[in-house]
Structure 1
Amino acid sequence: MKKSLFLFLTVLLGAFVALAGCGNQGSSSQGDGGKEQKAAELPDTGDLTINKDIPDDSKILSKGPNGEPAISAKTLRLTEEEIAKVKEGKYKAAIVMHYAGNDWSKAQIDGLKAAFKRMGIEVIAVTDGQFKAEKQVSDIETVLAKSPDIIVSIPVDPVSTAEAYKKAAAAGVKLVFMDNAPQGLTAGKDYVSVVSADNYGNGVEAAEIMAAQLKEKGKIGVVYHDADFFVTRQRTEAFEKTIKEKYPNIEIVARSGITDPNTGEKIASAMLTKNPELDGIFAVWDVPAEGVLAAARTAGRDDLIITTIDLGTNVALEIASSGIVKGLGAQLPYDQGVAEAILAAKSLLGGETPPYVAVPSLNVTEENILESWKMVYHTDAPDVIQQAAQ
Structure 2
Amino acid sequence: MKKTLLLFITVLLGAFLALAGCGNQNAGSGEEETEQKAAEIPDSGALTISEDIPSGTTILSKGPNGEEAISAKTLNLSEEDIAKVKEGNYKAAIVMHYAGNDWSKAQIDGLEAAFKRMGIEVIAVTDGQFKAEKQVSDIETVLAKDPDIIVSIPVDPVSTAEAYKKAAAAGVKLVFMDNAPQGLVAGKDYVSVVSADNYGNGVEAAEIMAAQLEEKGKIGVVFHDADFFVTRQRTEAFEKTIKEKYPNIEIIARSGITDPNTGEKIASAMLTKNPDLDGIFAVWDVPAEGVLSAARTAGREDLVITTIDLGTNVALDIAQGGIVKGLGAQLPYDQGIAEAILAGHALLGKETPPYVAVPSLNVTQENILESWKMVYHTDAPDVIQQAAQ
Q: TM-score, normalised by structure 1?
A: 0.95
Structure 2 residue aligned with 1:196: 195
**Hey, what does 2:30 align to over in structure 1?**
33
Q: How is 1:61-76 mapped onto 2 (pairs within 5 angstroms)?
A: 61-76=60-75
Take 2:25 and 2:120, find their aligned partners in 1: how far apart are those partners? Answer: 27
Quick one: distance in 1 between partners of 2:339 and 2:194?
Answer: 6
Residues 31 and 37 in structure 1, CA contact (< 8 A), matched pair in contact too: no
1:261 and 1:52 mapped to 2: Cα distance?
33
Task: Give the conservation status (yes or no) of the 8 Å contact 1:197–1:361.
Answer: yes
AA aligned to 1:111 is G
Where 1:13 maps in the other structure, the secondary structure is: strand
Asked if 2 retains the 8 angstrom alpha-carbon contact of 1:6 and 1:318, the reply is no
Which residue matches 2:186?
187
Which amino acid is 1:130 matched to?
Q
Structural mapping, 1:216-227, within 5 Å:
216-227=215-226
Q: Tell me, what secondary structure is at the counterpart of 2:21? A: strand
Determine if contact 2:62/2:69 at 8 Å carries over to the other structure: yes
Q: Distance in 1 between matches of 2:134 and 2:37?
A: 29
Distance change (3 Å), C-alpha of 1:266 and 1:198? same
Note the C-alpha offset of 1:259: 1.0
Whether the 8 Å contact between 1:40 and 1:114 is mirrored in structure 2 is no
Q: Which moved more, 1:32-41 or 1:269-278?
A: 32-41
Secondary structure in structure 2 of the residue aligned to 1:221 = strand
Give the equivalent residue in structure 2 for 1:77: 76
Total equivalences in the alignment: 381
Alignment partner, residue 250 of structure 2: 251
> Unpaired runs of 5+ in structure 2?
1-6
Cα deviations across residues 295-329 of structure 1 (Å, max 9, x unaligned)? 11111111110000000000000000010100000
The corresponding residue for 1:117 is 116
SS at match of 1:69: coil
- Secondary structure at the residue paired with 1:46? coil
Matched, 1:5 2:5: no
Aligned equivalent of 1:262? 261
Asked whether the 8 Å contact 1:41–1:114 carries over to 2, the reply is yes
TM-superposed CA distance for 1:58, in Å, is 1.2
Aligned partners of 1:255 and 1:293: how far apart in 2?
16
In 2, the alpha carbon distance for the partners of 1:6 and 1:375 equals 27
Could you tell me how far apart the structure 2 residues matched to 1:103 and 1:325 are? 18
Write out per-residue CA displacement over residues 249-281 of structure 1, whole angstroms, 9 at most, x where no aligned residue.
Answer: 111111111111111111111111111111111
Q: Is the 8 A contact 2:8 2:17 kept in 1?
A: no
Name the CA distance, whole Å, in 2 between partners of 1:6 and 1:160: 46
Match of 2:130 in 1: 131
How far does the alpha carbon of each residue in 1:207-239 deviate from its partner, in whole angstroms, 9 at most, with x for none?
000000011111111111111111100000000
Match of 2:4 in 1: none
CA distance in 2 between partners of 1:210 and 1:312 (Å): 18
Offset, 1:134: 1.2
Distance 1:9 1:264 in 2: 27
- Determine the structure 2 residue equivalent to 1:22: none
In structure 1, C-alpha distance between the alignment counterparts of 2:168 and 2:12, rounded to whole Å: 50
- Find the aligned partners of 1:9 and 1:333 in 2 and give their Cα distance: 29
- Structure 2 CA distance for partners of 1:231 and 1:11, relative to 1, 3 Å: farther
- The 1:274–1:133 alpha-carbon spacing in structure 2 relative to 1, beyond 3 Å, is same
For residues 26-65 of structure 1, give each alpha carbon's deviation from its aligned partner in whole angstroms, at most 9, with x where no partner exists. x745446332222332000000100100111111000001
Unaligned ranges ≥5, structure 1: 20-24
TM-score between the two structures when normalised by the length of structure 2: 0.95
CA 1:4–1:229 in structure 2 vs 1: closer, same or farther (change >3 Å)? closer
Residue in structure 2 matched with residue 300 of structure 1 by the alignment: 299
2:21 aligned to 15, 18, 22, which one?
A: 18
Q: Is 2:95–2:139's contact at 8 Å kept on the other side of the alignment?
A: yes
Q: Which residue of 2 aligns with 1:169?
A: 168
Identify if the C-alpha distance between structure 1 residues 338 and 347 changes in structure 2 by more than 3 Å, giving closer, same or farther.
Answer: same
Shift of 1:345: 0.2
| Cα distance change on mapping 1:165 and 1:388 into 2, 3 Å | same
Matched residue, 1:319: 318
Aligned-residue identity in percent? 86
Amino acid in the other structure paired with 1:5: I
Do 2:9 and 2:16's aligned partners in 1 also have CA atoms closer than 8 Å? no
Is the 2:16–2:28 contact (alpha carbons within 8 Å) kept by the matching residues of 1? Answer: no
| Residue 371 in structure 1 maps to residue 370 in structure 2 | yes
